Each structure stands twice: as C-alpha cells, then as structure tokens.
Amino acid sequence: MKKIGVFTSGGDSPGMNAAIRAVVRTCAYHNIESYGIYEGYEGLINGEIRKIGARGVSNIIQRGGTILKSSRSEAFRTVEGRKKAFENIQKFGLDGIVAIGGDGTFTGAAIFNKEYNIPFVGIPGTIDNDLFGTDFTIGYDTAINTVVEAVDKIRDTATSHNRLFIVEVMGKDAGFIALRSGIAVGAEAILIPETRTYINQLIEKLEGNRNGRKTSMIVIVAEGDELGGAYEVAQKVKKQCPQYDSRVTVLGHIQRGGSPSAMDRVLASTMGNAAVDALLNGKNNIMIGVVNKEVAYTPFEKAIKHHDKLNMNLVNLAEILAS
C-alpha cells in the first residue's frame, strides 16, 4: 500500500472529521500517501481527489460535519458511473479506500469491490447506531446528547405551563436515539419502530400520569414510529384528550450537527487507525467496529443485512421508570 483514499458518504455525523484525521495521520505514520475524495462516490466519479498531509487535518477533531463533504450518488448506482470511478482510482494510483458512512455507503463499496477488486474498509459513521458489528457508530453518542440537552430545556417550559410536549427525534427504521435519550430525559412514553404502538395505551399512560398530578409530560417519538411523526401523534392525542395543553417539537437535523462528544472523538480515532491497519494487513470488504472495547471486523454484507437489534432490557427499563 503506497496510496490510500478516504471519503465520507451519506448523512453526516459528528466525529467524521476525527475519523478522517486518524486515517490521514496513521497513513503518515506508515509513510503512506493519503488522498481525500470529496463528496463521496460523486468525487470518485468526477475525479475530486486531492492529496492530504498530516498538517492538512489539523484542528478538525472538534468540528462537526465533514471537511470532505458528503453526498448520495445516483450516478454510482450505474455501471457507467462505477466504471468512471474505477478509472479515477487508477489515474491517482490508489491502492485502497477507507469509506466512512452507513449501510448505503457499504452497499456501494461491496458492489464496487466485486466488480473491480479494489480493497475497501468501512468505518460506521451514522447517528442511527443500527449497523451490525459494532457497539456504537460514530455520531450516535453526540446525537443522543444533543437530544437530551434540547429536551431538558423543553422540560423546563413544560413544567412551567403544565404542558404535554411531543418531541420527534430521528430514526426512520430504528429507535436507538429515541430509546436512550428517552430514558435519559425521563420521558413518560417512548414510541419507536421496533415495538407496536397503540394510541389507547398511550392515552391511558398519559391519563395515569396526569391523575398522579405530574406537572409536565414528555413523549419521545422516533420519526419512523407506526403512529407517524410527532404531529400525527399529537393529532391523535388531541382528538381523544382535547383538555391537554400540548405542543410539538421536531428536533430534526440539529441531531446531526455540533462538536462531537469525547466518546465519539475517541471512537472515530480508534476506527480510523484500525481501518488503515486493516488495509495494510490485507483485509478487504469489511467494516471496522468496536465490540466490548475491542476492534472487530465485519463483512460489509453482514453489517448491512443484519441490522443491530434494540436492547429489550432498555425497553423494559423505560416502561418501569416512566410509571
């Protein structure tokens, strides 16, 4: 390995810059040239590839987003697009690539690897924390801390006015953000895609809390819950309980931004270093993870297909503590 490329793809997550920094500086340590590929697979196709030295990643570990930019490439889904990407890899003489992203990123890498046999190693950068093969993905810890900070402030207003707040967090297919942040803020109910939600049970729980003289109530809703997002849930609650003074807050993309937490910085640094080491040791078509504090390697196909499952003990804990 003489030259290694690195890119970020899909949705951004806090800690991606820390991972880029670790890849570049590990390459420098081993006297390997590192190249930044801008805007993910689009950059591979368009030849947006530039050499980055160790000093080129100074002062980025604390920054959110990604200095390499990100995109979702429709062109890379085509045979013609992937052929262009391969031609640019040859042009720049890249011997291997570190791809930072989620399941879409790894799906593309797996297909490309089968067609052109270019070594790819993935780093899981997604706030959803739903990839199999790692305890935590880069950005997840920061995202839930962002939610907790926001909902703590919302709780102040809810208590001051005896209000019900229905707060929507990210999670189209997975409830990891909703579950952990919901427990952390003491939510009265947590609605997630993995468990069935019955509006009557939610009303019963809220009524029980109200009769127990709770001065405020918080409901955390993952955007992919079967009842719908926060606005849909609020309409259903209002229909049955018009006496509630309720408000809706959709936290949206603030969950993706901001300076990464210490945990995400260390996790990203560990994974970035491990990704370069994996390429140097001939590993290919795998995702780097950290499981039980040890670096783990999971084939792309397995990481994509076997999405991580919710800890049902946390689901039960949420039920008990909300009573």
Q: How far apart are CA 68 and CA 101, in angstroms?
A: 12
Task: Note whether 133 and 249 are same-domain residues.
Answer: no
pLDDT (0 to 100) of residue 264: 98
| Amino acid (1-letter code) at residue 319 | E
Query: Is 128 part of the annotated catalytic residue set?
Result: yes
| pLDDT confidence band for 306 (50 / 70 / 90) | low
Does pLDDT of 241 surpass 90? no
Over residues 73-96, the mean pLDDT reads 94
* Burial group, residue 320, by CB count within 10 angstroms (0-12, 13-18, 19+): exposed
CATH number of the domain that residue 156 is part of: 3.40.50.460
Residue 234's φ and ψ, nearest 5 degrees, are -60, -40
pLDDT (0 to 100) of residue 211: 61
CA proximity to 154, closest of 205, 218, 210? 218
Higher pLDDT, 123 or 160: 123
Does pLDDT of 54 surpass 70? yes
Higher pLDDT, 321 or 60: 60
Task: Note whether 161 and 108 are same-domain residues.
Answer: no
Task: Note whether 15 and 52 are same-domain residues.
Answer: yes
User: Residue 220: inside a domain, yes or no?
Assistant: yes
Q: What is the mean pLDDT of the chain?
A: 92
Question: How many CB atoms sit inside 10 A of residue 265's CB?
Answer: 23
Question: Looking up tokens 């229905």, which residue turns up?
Answer: 166
Domain of residue 240, residue span: 143-256
Task: Note whether 92 and 234 are same-domain residues.
Answer: no
Task: Note whether 177 and 120 are same-domain residues.
Answer: no
Over residues 73-86, the mean pLDDT reads 92
User: Residue 171: inside a domain, yes or no?
Assistant: yes
Catalytic residue among 12, 95, 103, 128: 128
